[in-house]
Amino acid sequence: MSQRFLKIKNFKNIGITKEEDQWERLYLNNSLDKDKIGELIILIGENNVGKSNILDAINTISLASKSKKSQNFKNCMPDFMDYEECLPKLKLVYKDDENNSCDLELNIDEEGNAELLNSLPKDTKIIEPELNLDKVIKEFESKFSSYTKEIRDYGYNNYELDNIIKDYNNIIDSKENINTKYEKLKGLYARLAEFFRYFVDYYNGRVGYSLQIKELTFIDLDTIAYIKQKDVDIIKEKYDIDFIPNIVLYKEEHIKDEDLITTPEKIKDSKFFNSLFKAIGKPISTVKTNYEKSNPAFIKKYQENINKRLKDIVNDRFNELFFQKSELETLETTQNYDFSIELEENRIYLSICKNDEVLTLSKQSVGFKRFFNFFFNFLYTNELKAGDIVLMDEPEIHLSIPGRRDLRKFIKKFAKDTGITFIATTHNPSFVDIDYLDELRIIKNNKDGRGVKIQSNFSALADDEVDTLDSIINSFGILRSDLTREYKIIFVEGITDYNYLTAFKLLCNQDRKEDMKLVFLPIGGLGHDDKTIKEKLNKLSKIKIGFEPKVVLVDGDEAGKHSQELCIKENLTNKVKVEVLEPKKDLEIKFSENDNLIYEKKSSKSKIVNEIENLFSPEDIEKYLDILKSKSVKKSSLFKKMILEEDNKPNEETIDNFSELLKYLYAL
């Protein structure tokens, strides 16, 4: 499957090594497709382990790729005895479905100078596209012909349009080079856009006149001015994301009450109002223009137009993202915020209301204010798109526990909707969702004390660990019950089982309102020999989770049944209950050598291996064939993200099979 990950070597305290082929890996994305690449990655670890250093590593790539002048990265050097000559290296790697890869490599020399290289396939390269003005000229001619009759009929500043046309002809006829012409045309295009928007407001704002005209769409000229070459960025061409992503380090800027108030003369200088008008797609210059008309009717009409855009674009989006309803809540239980702009004679301000009650920003909760800052100061001030990366260092700090959970839900939803990857550090277990443990990356000190390692696969257990929560609770310095107190725990053998069962629990809770507070935890298998199985069962029996016996769900194969028998033999059934997944179908599902499905009638002689995958209907086996046959951690994680989408849901037979199993486990 396609994926994106970061390789780190000798960067501060990460990946300290003298070996050429040894790297620490931070897995970022389970898919490179534009509509699936959005992810939330959470970095956890003990205090002072260096989680922020990983953010610095990613941001260093951004700084090196954006900088037009040389920057010094000497502060990135490792500081370990005998490793002074080991130099930092970073690689942002893209790997496609055929296991082909290309990467963006950053090397830092002993003086702190950075060298940025790419290893795109030989037959592809990033090249500057050719500039051609033919389509730009057609776009201008098209716009010039618009509103001509209306402008002349109403005698509306026709001289200004004539001046724009005159300037246009002078640019086209000049002997300047093509790039200079194009830069001048872009400025003139913006001037024409403002002139037409001004006219539309004038025309539609006439009192007592019902006929309205539509505002023209002015495009980004770069999209038509440049001709694509035959040689292209292979990542852009195949996945519609940039090979070099836009990487942004989020730093919160606090919006105050006074920022929500300005004057007609100063509105262009207001960062907040510039962001707000950008959000609704309206040039902020039109505010001053309407005030200059000195007609209250124009201002009132303009205010109505602005607030309609606010309602349609900003209000709905703000409430959609801010209110993170549980699966059992309805829209009727939600309280919405309303924003409106008030245009008074000498001042302009944003009004915030909740259920018709006017609010003061400074008196709202910390959680609301932080979200307000994030929404208006970040989401609409950065040109983010699918494939881009946002870095956040402890975004949940100073928030209440419900506020942390809401923020995490919001970021995850926004990431999924936009295709943006958010990478956040945290010290708070309440910022972690136990249903999405696969989004965690655990930063651990190496046993030799030399730097840290990144555990990207959260179910990879050390010899002394019982289940996947051991590393997590040790990272936070908390008790197991702090993460699981609301849930009934079911231990499963592997991460694919965890992902499939969790996915269907989320689906049943969402669509069928079953509200089963189950959590599944991978234990990395029970083992293949009696000694290992007994040791694992004994360790599980000693875990303190608040109820007995602990339930372990295993496959219905011989190994699973043998584990059940050993549990009984060892007299552990009062502490541990091994549940064998029993066959649910009359057909055994197999794969032929060429991956075609084979359905064979079960018989007493056949060895039935009943696994989680056998709960899928034959139709859904076909539908999710690539995911199911791979037994891949990353693909099963992707499935968990897809399953809640309407177009990707399994059929009722599959959901019924899983629902029956989940209800049975919940009742144990």
Q: How far apart are CA 531 and CA 558, in angstroms?
A: 17
- For residue 497, report the phi and psi dihedrals to the nearest 5 degrees: -60, -45
DSSP 118-165: E---TT----PPEE--HHHHHHHHHHHTTTHHHHHHTT-SHHHHHHHH
Beta strands (DSSP E) in 293-450 are 337-343, 348-354, 357-359, 389-393, 421-425, 440-445
Length of the chain in residues, anyone? 668
User: 3-class DSSP state for residue 524?
Assistant: coil
pLDDT for residue 83: 85
Residue 288 has pLDDT above 70, yes or no: yes
158-162, 325-329, 645-649 — which is least confidently predicted? 325-329
pLDDT for residue 609: 40
The pLDDT confidence band at residue 37, using thresholds 50, 70 and 90, is very high
Cα dist. 346→255, 260, 310, 584 in Å?
A: 22, 14, 22, 74
Residue 211 has pLDDT above 70, yes or no: no
Retrieve residue 262's tokens: 């300005």
Residue pLDDT, tens place only, 576-617: 899 888 755 554 555 554 555 444 444 443 333 467 888 888
Cα dist. 607→521, 587, 631 in Å?
A: 28, 12, 20
Look up the pTM and report it: 0.74
Residue pLDDT, tens place only, 369-395: 888 888 888 876 677 899 999 999 998
pLDDT for residue 323: 62
Q: At what angle do helices 296-309 and 178-204 cross, to 10 degrees?
A: 110
Given the DSSP bridges, would you call strands 488-492 and 518-522 parallel, antiparallel or unpaired?
parallel
pLDDT for residue 606: 37
